[in-house]
Amino acid sequence: MSDSPTPAQSAIRFGLIAGVIAYFIWGIFPIYFKLVGDVSATEIMAHRILWSLPFGALILTFRKQWPEVLRALMDKRVLAMLALAATTIAGNWYIYVLAVLEGRVLEASLGYYINPLMYVAAGVFIMGETLRKAQIVAVALAALGVITLTFGAGVFPVTSLILATSFTAYGYIRKTTNVGAMPGLFIEVCLLSPIALIYLIWLIQAGNAAFLTSGLSLDLLLIFAGPVTVIPLMCFALAARRLRLSTLGFLQYIGPTLQFALGLYFGEVFTFYHAICFGLIWIALAIFSFDARRASVLPRPALRTN
């Protein structure tokens, strides 16, 4: 009797590894954006998009996936879904970069802590799922945390909620779109690249670009925006197609935890009301995780044969 994993188990294991890599890189992302902190958020966005093209093309060539790209381009529905995904992730990127550059890493981390509970909301409102009691408690605690921060510190976490909502939407779109991880990501970047290229050319001609004017080290860092963008997104897409949304939500704790630690390291303000808000959300996530784990090990009812 062989103990080797089944194809399904191997796929899940591969998805878990890919997910951990993606969320770890995203967790330490603030370090990269601090290194290019003298560059505007919009210019950083343009470089992320444009330098993702050649790096993505190399991966597609190495993996011999160009035929899949062509098939996706010929499918109007897939192309429309990828256009929607591109718009969603571009908005997420911009808001996140802006938050880090403005010294709001803690607020960004809060958004990604809320994200797993957004997956629950997506399951309810999009897929018609019914919440279990523990899930209702978790969502209520998270909402209470946001309300406490809003009225206690006088700050409504708009950035946090936009980041959580947009990334949940992106994950759902990619999970339900019939295209591979890297081919889909490459098409998304291709759809965004004309706008990024036009903007960057205009910026250079106007003499307002940091690229090619601020030294070789900064130029190399901006070029490196391609790999640091593509690698975690490719890993996330690989994970999203192999794992359940609840599992993805659990893995996502890696990213905001690292971001939270970095926010404290960077000396951002952490008030009493921030502590209550984060504390309530951490309790909510603990309840959510325990409930998801318990639900996954409960015996399922036998199928009826009559």
pLDDT digits (tens, 9 = 90+) for 67-121: 999 999 999 999 999 999 999 999 999 999 999 999 999 899 888 888 777 877 7
For residues 185-202, give the mean pLDDT. 94
Q: Is residue 210 part of a domain?
A: yes
Q: Is residue 149 part of a domain?
A: no
Q: Which residue range is the domain that position 189 belongs to?
A: 13-113+159-166+178-270
Q: Is residue 286 part of a domain?
A: no
> In which region does residue 69 sit, left (phi positive, over 0), alpha (psi from -120 to 50) or beta (all else)?
alpha
51 exposed, middle or buried (CB, 10 Å; 0-12, 13-18, 19+)? buried
229: amino acid identity, one letter: T
What's the half-sphere exposure (Cβ side, CA atoms, 13 Å) at 52? 29
pLDDT band of residue 303 (cuts 50, 70, 90) is very low
Q: Which of 281, 263, 274, 287 is nearest to 109 (CA)?
A: 263
Write the DSSP assignment of the chain as a string of letters: ---PPPHHHHHHHHHHHHHHHHHHHHHTHHHHHHHTTTS-HHHHHHHHHHHHHHHHHHHHHHHT-HHHHHHHHH-HHHHHHHHHHHHHHHHHHHHHHHHHHTT-HHHHHHHHHHHHHHHHHHHHHTT-PPPPHHHHHHHHHHHHHHHHHHHHSS---HHHHHHHHHHHHHHHHHHTS-S-HHHHHHHHHHHHHHHHHHHHHHHHHTT--STTTS-HHHHHHHHTHHHHHHHHHHHHHHHHTTS-HHHHHHHTTHHHHHHHHHHHHTT----HHHHHHHHHHHHHHHHHHHHHHHHHHSPPPPPP--
pLDDT band of residue 220 (cuts 50, 70, 90) is very high
pLDDT for res 2: 52
Query: Which residue would you say has higher pLDDT here, 84 or 137?
Result: 84
189 Cβ neighbours under 8 A, 6+ residues apart: 49, 52, 53, 56, 86, 230
**Averaged pLDDT score across all residues of the chain:** 85
pLDDT of residue 297 exceeding 60, the answer is: no
CB atoms within 10 A of CB 60: 19
Say how many domains are in the chain: 1
Q: Is residue 220 part of a domain?
A: yes
User: Which pLDDT tens digit goes with each residue over 227-280?
Assistant: 998 888 888 878 877 887 667 767 878 888 899 999 999 999 888 988 998 899
pLDDT of residue 40 exceeding 80, the answer is: yes
Query: Which residue would you say has higher pLDDT here, 245 or 305?
Result: 245
Share of the chain above pLDDT 90, in %: 43
Q: Is residue 298 part of a domain?
A: no
Q: Is residue 253 part of a domain?
A: yes
> In which region does residue 128 sit, left (phi positive, over 0), alpha (psi from -120 to 50) or beta (all else)?
left
User: Which pLDDT tens digit goes with each residue over 142-175?
Assistant: 888 888 888 886 778 889 889 989 988 888 898 8
Q: Is residue 131 part of a domain?
A: no
CB atoms within 10 A of CB 161: 15
pLDDT of residue 221 exceeding 70, the answer is: yes
CB atoms within 10 A of CB 273: 17
Check the CA dihedral 126-127-130-135 and report its sign: negative
Write the DSSP assignment of 80-141 as a string of letters: HHHHHHHHHHHHHHHHHHHHHHTT-HHHHHHHHHHHHHHHHHHHHHTT-PPPPHHHHHHHHH
What is the rounded CA–CA span in Å between residue 15 and residue 202? 41
Q: Is residue 133 part of a domain?
A: no
pLDDT for res 174: 86
Whether the full predicted model's pTM is greater than 0.85, yes or no, is no
